[in-house]
Amino acid sequence: MALMRRWMFSGISSQTCIITQWLTQNSMSQSCLVNGIDAFQELLTHSSNTPASLRSPQCEEITVPAVAFSGAPSTRETSFIEKMKKMGKNIIVFYGSQTGTGEEFANRLSKDAQRYGMKGMAADPEEYDMAELARLSEIENSLAIFCMATYGEGDPTDNAQDFYDWLQENDDEDLSGLNYTVFALGNKTYEHYNAMGKYVDKRLEELGAKRIFDLGLGDDDGNLEEDFVSWREQFWPAVCEHFGVEPLGDESSIRQYELKVHTDINMNKVYSGEIGRLKSFEVQKPPFDSKNPFLAPVTVNRRLNKGGERHLMHLELDITGSKIRYESGDHVAVFPTNDSALVNKLGQVLGVDLDVVISLNNLDEESNKKHPFPCPTTYRTALTHYLDITQPPRTNVLYELAQYATDSKDQENLRKMASSSPEGKSLYQNWVLDACRNILAILEDMPSLRPPIDHLCELLPRLQARYYSIASSSKVHPNSIHICAVVVEYQTKTGRLNKGVATNWLKNKLISDNGHKSMVPMYIRKSQFRLPFKATNPVLMVGPGTGIAPFVGFIQERGWLKEQGKEVGETVMYFGCRHKNEDYLYQEELEEAEKNGALTQLNVAFSRDQEHKVYVQHLLKANKEHVWKLIHSENAHIYICGDARNMAKDVQLAFYEIAEEQGEMTRSQATDYIKKLMTKGRYSQDVWS
């Protein structure tokens, strides 16, 4: 077997193939092959001449037979055209999804098709040859729908990266026979709002495809569900008009899966929380990724803040022997589980035995997706490990559940909330979203609503991995990954106490739990948030609150480089918190780093220790001469981490003002100056909302 690394980034796939082929044909050992490609990756990741869009490729290790390198055909079915013909489908819904929402919307649209006399299928673009879009016209009344999420700073999601590359690289492709539409999923707090969806919509038109309905823009900072429902309710009539078909008018529930109860089954064949392969948590085999996470023991779990109501924590995960490698700035993804008390309460309200072993089998035998989650399993395992039971349900779930309400008023309200009427939208916003009602709260507040648990499990979305910026450097901590997080806990308008799934789960990961090590299923997601290749370049870091996480790793790495005798440029930190004596995170570490020279300047804004609030942007402007000197004269790299909604925008505005004043520019020129730094990879953001 040979080990091949596949990179997903634009414009370099051919170089990667050439190098991989050369290394393989020259009969190099597996270790040499990996090292050779690693060297190529290192060059691209750190080269100051490499465009930012090409750095930090998303790397996934896959074990393949050596013959695969010589062009042997793959046995995997990559023709969605042949599959559609075989299954009698005429609508295909591709999704680019990082957290599951894009996939969920795609499934809803493919299911909708049946109500309009058509047949749809949802598809992951990573699994198919997207060049076949040119052949879709072979199928009568065919349509391709694209539900495309934007990840991070205008990037495609991991599963849509290859599709994005294909669109960029194939200028001669003729898609004149393709009918299409796009719904984009994004967040307005990010600068590159819905960049991926907009690009796909524009690029398909450039290649000759026919847009049959306007691009839909979903804003997760507002009401993504409302955006989607409003777009969808206009979209389907337009499709019917385009193809000259009549909707069937069938508004009844359409089940996708059928229940099978296992009364006599070998429990060794029952999933107990594994994400991918059965028993994968018992026998761990690298490489580790989203489908095969590594079970990392928790070696440290300590509270960071000295006081206050919030709980800020530092965890350390042991990755010894896993062959997992990471770099400063990467993200660690963890797979949390739901609170057992919440799961038990759901079982009680529904009056079911949660330990029954079941399978939910797809009624469409040709579908790639045989089950909505790993099966066979128990209801308890599904509700604990696989299903999201804490988020407010989307409108399609309420619509499907309405049929089970025995009270006519409850049924009417559920259907109303699932509609796009102004009254329905308002009711859903107030009663579900603003009140933060999860599925349990809805069942408690609607005693007449008692759906079959198997249908509820079919409807609920998958519980997703949570991403955290790694708070350590592999140069200093090669065998552990550090996490910095704040525990989420709040009271709702109904008086209920809601808890964040992942942070409360992590909080309870004790070092030794009844003599057993606490384990965290995790994997690494590569990031473009990287230290400059040249250590002599100054770095200017802005990270208030838990936004300090990646900079703990950056500071460790810069300190390590100094210890190796390397010349290191200025390392400047701007940190902010509420109170010095309460939530000054990593105070000892930061002050020690400044003392030993790893950190050349430490600036801390305590927002509530004085009458007037002081934030990091105020300190930046107070030090404007030094900041401008670093940026303009010394080629400093700027890094921002933390809140996207307010902090990141305020900090960016501060940099505009500094460039305007110190560089003697107009506001327009100053804005262009900072934007060019972004383009060059010298202004990087790792932000969330």
User: Annotated binding residues for NADP(+), as ranges?
Assistant: 310, 546, 607-608, 613-617, 650
Average pLDDT value for residue range 68-72: 30
Sign for the CA dihedral angle at 320, 321, 323, 324 comes to negative
> How many alpha carbons fall within 13 Å on the CB side of residue 539?
28
Q: Work out the percent of the chain whose per-residue pLDDT is above 90.
A: 80
* Contact criterion met (CB below 8 Å) for 131 and 174: no
Is there a catalytic annotation at residue 53? no
Q: Which residues make Cβ contacts (< 8 Å) with residue 20, sequence separation at least 6?
A: 4, 5, 33, 37, 69
Per-residue pLDDT band for 249 (boundaries 50, 70, 90) equals low
pLDDT at 52 > cutoff 70: no
Could you tell me the two tokens for 212?
A: 């049959």
Strand partners, 317: 298, 481
Q: Which residue has the higher pLDDT, 50 or 338?
A: 338
Buried b or exposed e, range 538-561, using 16+ CB within 10 angstroms = bbbbbbbbbbbbbbbbbbbbbbbb
Per-residue pLDDT band for 39 (boundaries 50, 70, 90) equals very low
* Contact criterion met (CB below 8 Å) for 244 and 262: no
pLDDT at 58 > cutoff 80: no
- For residue range 102-140, what is the model confidence (pLDDT) as tens digits? 999 999 999 999 888 899 999 999 999 999 999 999 999
Q: Which domains does the chain have, with CATH numbers?
A: 2-70 (no CATH), 80-243 (3.40.50.360), 258-274+339-459 (1.20.990.10), 294-337+465-525 (2.40.30.10), 539-688 (3.40.50.80)
Distances (CA, A) of 659 to 564, 616, 637: 35, 17, 15
Could you tell me the two tokens for 352?
A: 């079911």
Q: Please name the helix (run of DSSP H) or strand (run of DSSP E) that holds residue 479, with its range, or none.
A: none
pLDDT at 459 > cutoff 50: yes
Q: Which residue has the higher pLDDT, 494 or 55?
A: 494
pLDDT at 7 > cutoff 50: no
User: Annotated binding residues for FAD, as ranges?
Assistant: 466-469, 484-486, 490, 500-503, 688
Is there a catalytic annotation at residue 688? yes
Q: Which class for 534: exposed (0-12), middle (13-18), buried (19 or more C-beta within 10 A)?
A: middle
Question: Which DSSP letter does residue 393 get?
Answer: P
Sign for the CA dihedral angle at 120, 126, 129, 135 comes to positive
Determine the pLDDT at residue 516: 83
Could you tell me the two tokens for 421?
A: 């009427």
| Among 155, 148, 219, 147, CA closest to 192 | 155
Determine the pLDDT at residue 248: 76
Between CA 408 and CA 394 the distance in angstroms is 21
Is there a catalytic annotation at residue 231? no
What mean pLDDT value characterizes the chain? 89
Q: Which H, E and C letters describe 243-265, residue by residue? A: HCCCCCCCCCCCCCEEEEEECCC
Average pLDDT value for residue range 587-603: 97
Q: Which residues make Cβ contacts (< 8 Å) with residue 92, sequence separation at least 6?
A: 80, 84, 110, 120, 121, 122, 123, 136, 142, 143, 144, 145
Q: Which residue has the higher pLDDT, 196 or 251?
A: 196
- For residue range 372-429, what is the model confidence (pLDDT) as tens digits? 999 999 999 999 999 999 999 999 999 999 999 999 999 999 999 999 899 999 999 9
Strand partners, 513: 516
- For residue range 345-370, what is the model confidence (pLDDT) as tens digits? 999 999 999 999 999 999 988 788 89
Is there a catalytic annotation at residue 176? no
- For residue range 262-289, what is the model confidence (pLDDT) as tens digits? 999 999 999 999 999 999 999 999 999 9
* Contact criterion met (CB below 8 Å) for 523 and 286: no
Q: Which of 7, 641, 643, 684 is catalytic?
A: 641
Q: Which of 469, 472, 473, 474 is catalytic?
A: 469
Determine the pLDDT at residue 43: 39
Coil, strand or helix: which one is 97? coil
Distances (CA, A) of 291 to 36, 95, 150, 277, 412: 26, 18, 21, 8, 41
- Alpha helix ranges (H) inside 161-283: 161-169, 195-206, 224-243
Between CA 5 and CA 62 the distance in angstroms is 6
Sign for the CA dihedral angle at 635, 641, 644, 650 comes to negative
Q: What is the DSSP string of 585-654?
A: TTHHHHHHHHHHTSSSEEEEEETTSSSS---HHHHHHHTHHHHHIIIIIT-PEEEEEEETTTHHHHHHHH
Strands (E), 67-215: 91-96, 120-123, 143-151, 155-156, 179-186, 210-211
- For residue range 525-584, what is the model confidence (pLDDT) as tens digits? 999 999 999 999 999 999 999 999 999 999 999 999 999 999 999 999 999 999 999 999
Report the DSSP pairing between strands 143-151 and 179-186: parallel
Between CA 388 and CA 396 the distance in angstroms is 15
Sign for the CA dihedral angle at 226, 184, 161, 371 comes to positive
Per-residue pLDDT band for 251 (boundaries 50, 70, 90) equals low
Per-residue pLDDT band for 60 (boundaries 50, 70, 90) equals very low
Q: Which of 236, 560, 628, 688 is catalytic?
A: 688
Q: Cβ–Cβ contacts within 10 Å for residue 23, how many?
A: 21
Per the document, the length of the chain is 689
Between CA 598 and CA 553 the distance in angstroms is 12
User: Annotated binding residues, as ranges?
Assistant: 97-102, 149-152, 185-194, 220, 310, 466-469, 484-486, 490, 500-503, 546, 607-608, 613-617, 650, 688
Per-residue pLDDT band for 12 (boundaries 50, 70, 90) equals very low
Q: Cβ–Cβ contacts within 10 Å for residue 594, how many?
A: 16
